[in-house]
């Protein structure tokens, strides 16, 4: 039996996540584990909540990380806000909208799909039409930043349309939080979830969420119990809630939360607007280089997500071989196409700490070398 410790190779992560984790975050995670009800830990939890409110731009008291990856944040929103028999409008323009549909069905509700082409933003006119055709719908769900295609949708407009028709919104901001503008309060978003391993540059495994009062009221008014015990916010809040008395719900991932705390402190130090601008400026740099190599973006310019650059693989180029050589020779990871786009595109991430000029130079030089040989 092999008993050696595991030492991962050093990589540069320019795929769809995880992104490069800053050494400060890794160092924070290696600090001594303390009890998850220790007063010192509880104080840190309060700081994490406050820093997440800053990242989401909200005063929502229910703003906290779910102890599981982004998919669990998605599930938290659906299982708490959707009851059996309800109708939910799901906008789909890539892989993750498809998962929202799965969630709706598993809640015993009926999804109404608003489909857009992969690589395009969600079309508000189509949502409006669906809202008019389905006045009995109670929730609208959409993905702000579709990581499978690199398209960014207009969350403010989609939210406003949903509210005009009396629907709550659930927003997937897994790839946008910390990388693109999000104004949870300013745009009046009801429920939103994210992930730690994309533009926050933390390790995978946590999912920040935020619910406003309207969404919480719906949770309180439920006729049926939330079918997931672990994700039932009524119970989770007994641990994460603001009251002095905290009760055991599950053992928080203590060291992972040290990491998230550090990632959020770094975001605060940089300033949210500066982080958004950095992601955009680096996208422009990478774009210029990719276009010089003759690679074409699949998303129209005004709908592009700065932190995820999807380009068409040139004819006659072997997708898997190029990615394998980038990994072997340059220790560089870029993303393959997902779903309908598998084998057709590369997805180059510029998320969080990975979004820097050194990575852009490495990626362009490595791609040029591999494509030319």
70: contact with ligand PLP by CB under 6 A: yes
Per CB under 6 A, contacts with ligand PLP among 18-47 are: none
Answer for which of 60, 76, 175, 212 binds ligand PLP (CB under 6 A) is: 175
Q: How far is the CB of 308 from ligand PLP (least distance, A)?
A: 8
User: Do the beta carbons of residue 158 and residue 91 sit within 8 Å?
Assistant: yes
CA–CA separation, 176 and 271 (whole Å): 15
Answer for which of 12, 13, 15, 17 binds ligand PLP (CB under 6 A) is: 17
Please identify, using beta-carbon distances, which residue of 310 and 364 lies nearer to ligand PLP. 310
User: Do the beta carbons of residue 25 and residue 202 sit within 8 Å?
Assistant: yes
User: Do the beta carbons of residue 233 and residue 3 sit within 8 Å?
Assistant: no
Please identify, using beta-carbon distances, which residue of 100 and 360 lies nearer to ligand PLP. 100
From residue 169, alpha-carbon distances to 82, 129, 163, 293 in Å are 11, 16, 8, 40
Pair type for strands 151-152 and 145-146: antiparallel
Q: How far is the CB of 93 from ligand PLP (least distance, A)?
A: 11
CA–CA separation, 292 and 340 (whole Å): 26
- Applying CB under 6 A, the site for ligand PLP has a residue count of 13
Answer for which of 15, 111, 195, 352 binds ligand PLP (CB under 6 A) is: 195
172: contact with ligand PLP by CB under 6 A: yes
Helix ranges (DSSP H) in the chain: 23-29, 39-56, 70-81, 95-106, 124-133, 155-164, 213-220, 233-240, 254-270, 272-292, 319-330, 357-372
User: Do the beta carbons of residue 80 and residue 231 sit within 8 Å?
Assistant: yes
61: contact with ligand PLP by CB under 6 A: no
Per CB under 6 A, contacts with ligand PLP among 320-359 are: none
Stretch that binds ligand PLP, among 69-77, 119-127, 150-158, 287-295 (CB under 6 A): 69-77
Please give the residue whose beta carbon sits closest to ligand PLP in the complex: 70
143: contact with ligand PLP by CB under 6 A: yes
Please identify, using beta-carbon distances, which residue of 69 and 124 lies nearer to ligand PLP. 69
152: contact with ligand PLP by CB under 6 A: no
328 Cβ partners below 8 Å, 6+ apart?
none
DSSP lists the bridge partners of residue 64 as: 209
User: Do the beta carbons of residue 365 and residue 46 sit within 8 Å?
Assistant: no
Write out the residues near ligand PLP by the rule CB under 6 A.
17, 69-71, 74, 96, 143, 147, 172, 174-175, 195, 204
């Amino acid at each position: 039996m092999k008993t050696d410790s595991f030492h991962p190779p050093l990589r540069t992560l320019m795929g769809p996540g995880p992104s490069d984790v800053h050494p400060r975050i890794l160092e924070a995670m290696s600090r001594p584990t303390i009890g998850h009800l220790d007063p010192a830990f509880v104080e840190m939890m309060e700081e994490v909540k406050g820093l997440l409110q800053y990242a989401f731009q909200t005063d929502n008291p229910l703003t906290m990380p779910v102890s599981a990856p982004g998919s669990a944040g998605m599930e938290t929103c659906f299982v708490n806000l959707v009851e059996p028999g309800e109708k939910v409008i799901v906008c789909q323009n890539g892989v993750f909208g498809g998962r929202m549909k799965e969630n709706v069905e598993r809640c015993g509700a009926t999804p109404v799909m608003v489909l857009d082409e992969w690589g395009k933003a969600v079309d508000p006119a189509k949502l409006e039409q669906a809202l008019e055709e389905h006045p009995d719908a109670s929730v609208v769900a959409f993905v702000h930043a579709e990581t499978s295609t690199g398209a960014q949708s207009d969350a403010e407009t989609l939210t406003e349309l949903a509210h005009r028709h009396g629907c709550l919104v659930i927003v997937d901001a897994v790839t946008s939080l910390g990388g693109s503008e999000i104004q949870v309060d300013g745009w009046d978003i009801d429920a939103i979830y994210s992930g730690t391993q994309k533009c926050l540059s933390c390790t995978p495994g946590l999912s920040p969420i935020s619910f406003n009062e309207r969404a919480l009221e719906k949770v309180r008014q439920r006729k049926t119990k939330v079918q997931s015990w672990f994700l039932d916010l009524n119970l989770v809040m007994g641990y994460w809630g603001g009251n002095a008395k905290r009760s055991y719900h599950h053992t928080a991932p203590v060291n992972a939360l040290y990491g998230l705390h550090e990632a959020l402190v770094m975001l605060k130090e940089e300033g949210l607007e500066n982080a958004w601008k950095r992601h955009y400026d680096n996208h422009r740099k990478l774009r210029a280089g990719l276009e010089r190599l003759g690679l074409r973006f699949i998303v129209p310019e005004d709908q592009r997500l700065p932190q995820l650059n999807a380009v068409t693989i040139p004819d006659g180029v072997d997708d898997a071989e190029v990615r394998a050589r980038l990994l072997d020779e340059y220790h560089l990871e870029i993303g393959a196409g997902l779903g309908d786009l598998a084998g057709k595109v590369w997805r180059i991430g510029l998320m969080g700490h990975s979004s820097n000029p050194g990575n852009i130079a490495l990626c362009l030089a490595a791609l040029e070398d591999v494509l030319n040989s």
